[in-house]
Amino acid sequence: MKTLSEAWFLPTPDKRVRRWKPENAVMIAVGGAVALILVLGVLGARALEHSTSLAAQVAHAYQVIRQVDHASTGMAVVASSIQTYVLSGDETLLRVREQALSEAESSLRNLQELTVDDPVQQAQVADLRSLTTLRIAAGNSVIVARQTGGFAEAQALIKTLRGEKLLERVRAQEAAIVREEERLLGERQQRELDGRHNVVLLGGALLLVVFLVVGFGLGWLRRELEARRRLARSLEAQQRFLQSVFEHLPALIVIKDPASLRFVVLNEATRAWFGVPREQLIGHTAHDLLPPEEAEAVEATDRLALQQHGVLDLSVNQRSSPHTPGSIFRTQKLAVRDADGRAMFLVCISTDISARVADEARIRALNESLEAQKTALEAANRELESFSYSVSHDLRAPLRAIDGFSLMLLEDYGAKLEPEAQRYLATIRAGSQRMGQLIDDLLAFSRLGRQSLKHVNVDMEHLVGVALPEALTEATGRMPVISVNPLPTSRGDPVLLQHVWSNLLANAVKYSSRVEAPEITVGASRDGDEVVYFVRDNGAGFDMQYAHKLFGVFQRLHGQEEFPGTGVGLAIVHRIVTRHGGRVWAESVPGRGATFYFTLPGACAT
């Protein structure tokens, strides 16, 4: 089975690491150390007064060279991470890049400090830092292009940056720094030769220093080798991860040779769609696998994608296989090119959107149904408006006539009428006035369902302050003691919410009017994103088994003679609160008062 990493156009990211054999480097280091010891044994050592200083200078030179190598290795890892990220889009590679970049910058800072007493090296290190900054900026621009414009834009930017020349300049600058250190090291070794007169005295000490330096170098080399092995293992793991992602993507992905349009690499979804082993797909063209007309159409779009730069996004088309008849696909094709603009391979991605197309069809049908329902609802609203107009005008006229003529009878002939007759006329007037109030309340209730809602932050304390004086004007007994606690701001329509407070406060005043010391409490508490408001009184209360009737139109739990009213106020409260997305309920004990609660969304931050 041909895997993604085996494709001729996709080299493995750790290919350079595999060619390098760390064992050879160890042998070279050991051999060099032995040769150095033999040479020192023959040539002698420097003078005693210079030995400590020269050893430090030698170690200093090695530190400079090592820091150059650290910086070079770190920037190589940075470049490799960016290249792999451009290909895969894997965000974890950016963390690898950041770590390697931090190590490279640390090495450059160490170089600056190590060469502080050498103006020549200071200038060369400054030039190296400038070139490294250019490489970092170029890498950042490629990452941004990959994140914002995708693979194609990043690849196009890489072509324009001419990173090879910049890399050559960096390598040349690194080599210049190393040559200068090697020159300085040679001068110091020459001074060692000049102190041959102390060969016998200092030979042993120099050999000890050499052994320490070699031991340190071998330890460092072992650490470097282990770090490189870890990096190689990490890159191999990333390669396996990318291979796994490619294989398990649900979209059909095929990579083709741009010259022959033969399948070179494909994923498991593609193999499953064709329903045959990979060996029967790799190396074949669309003409070998699809009906002639469909194969010709596929290859025509392949050639079109190879001619243009960027992604070729094809319209939705329907394709069938023996296992997935009538599937609907959206296909995208992209020619990946080299630095000279030649197509290296063609990527074809087909996404099955059958479910989405079916969902869109269902949504269109649902929208058509909703539009029909909207039309019917608008017609019903127009009929309701006409009915409300008739109720408002046609029913009021006879009621006004009954009330008016009854009043005239009382005023003109009241003295001539028997007391019983006068009582009858007063009852007629009260009934007609009550009927008028019922009509007003019914019309107000019906209009609530059609009135549009505003959604603004509402100062509930202000609404309560407006509603309280109006409610107290209807008090028939002792004036209640009213306590208003802090009320959080809520979100809603202030005009409609004013009706809520007016009805609840008027009810509290009315039903507590017959107790010795009426009390009314208004308060609120928060419950998550909601605010729970309440109005509590110590009045007549009600039996909770009838609580389900409270918020129905014309539903009353007390007689008209006991407490007057039409039974519409709480229905209005219920409708307004539910239209705001809230809830309303009540709790009570007969003779011990009642508490009415309602919830509203909390205010939005301004």
| pLDDT at residue 485, as a whole number | 93
State the CATH class of domain 252-352: alpha beta
Enumerate the H helices of 89-118 as residue ranges: 92-114
Paired strand residues for 533: 524, 598
How high is the mean pLDDT in each 10-residue block of the chain (606 residues)? 42 43 54 61 56 67 81 81 80 82 84 82 83 82 82 76 72 81 74 58 62 72 85 87 83 89 88 85 87 86 87 70 66 88 89 81 89 77 60 65 78 80 76 63 58 80 89 76 90 86 87 83 89 90 73 53 59 86 88 89 66
CB 595, CB 533: distance < 8 Å: no
The burial of 553, by beta-carbon neighbours within 10 Å (0-12 exposed, 13-18 middle, 19 or more buried), is given as middle
What element of type H or E holds 80?
Answer: helix 48-88
pLDDT attached to residue 1: 38
Q: Are 180 and 120 in contact (CB under 8 A)?
A: yes
The SS3 call for residue 8 is: coil
CATH architecture of 453-601: 2-Layer Sandwich (3.30)
pLDDT at site 464:
92
Taking the C-alpha atoms of residue 132 and residue 167, their distance in angstroms, rounded to an integer, is 9
**Which two structure tokens, joined as six digits, stand for 396?**
């009021």
252-352 and 453-601, same CATH topology? no
Q: What is the pLDDT of residue 16?
A: 42
Among candidates 89, 108, 7, 73, which has minimal Cα distance to 230?
A: 73
SS3 460: helix
Using CB atoms within 10 Å of the CB of residue 507, give its burial: 0 to 12 exposed, 13 to 18 middle, 19+ buried. buried
Query: What is the per-residue pLDDT for 469?
Result: 86
Q: Which residues contact 194 (CB under 8 A, 6 or more apart)?
A: 46
> Quick count: other Cβ atoms within 10 Å of Cβ 571?
22
Q: Specify the long-range contacts of residues 141-145, CB closer than 8 Å, at least 24 apart.
A: 142/82, 142/86, 143/82, 143/85, 143/94
Using CA atoms, how far apart are residues 431 and 346, in angstroms rounded to an integer? 88
Tell me phi and psi for residue 584, to 5 degrees: -140, 135
pLDDT at 7: 44
Per-residue pLDDT, 510: 84
Burial class (CB in 10 A: 0-12, 13-18, 19+), 302: buried
Pick from 131, 119, 232: nearest CA to 180: 119
Name, in order, each residue with C-beta under 8 angstroms of 390's C-beta and a sequence gap of 6 or more.
Answer: none
Supply the DSSP symbol for 167: H
Nearest to 602 by CA among 569, 585, 580: 580
Q: Domain-by-domain residue ranges, the chain?
A: 4-242, 252-352, 375-447, 453-601
pLDDT at 540: 78
Residues with Cβ within 8 Å of 336's Cβ and at least 6 positions away in sequence, in order, are 9, 151, 155, 343, 344, 345, 346, 347
Cα separation, 310 vs 151, whole angstroms: 9
Written in H, E and C, the secondary structure of 527-559 is: ECCEEEEEEEECCCCCCHHHHHHCCCCCCCCCC
Q: What angle do CA 78, 15, 219 make, to 5 degrees?
A: 70
Task: Please give the pLDDT value at position 384.
Answer: 58
3-state secondary structure of 332: strand
- pLDDT the model gives residue 357: 79
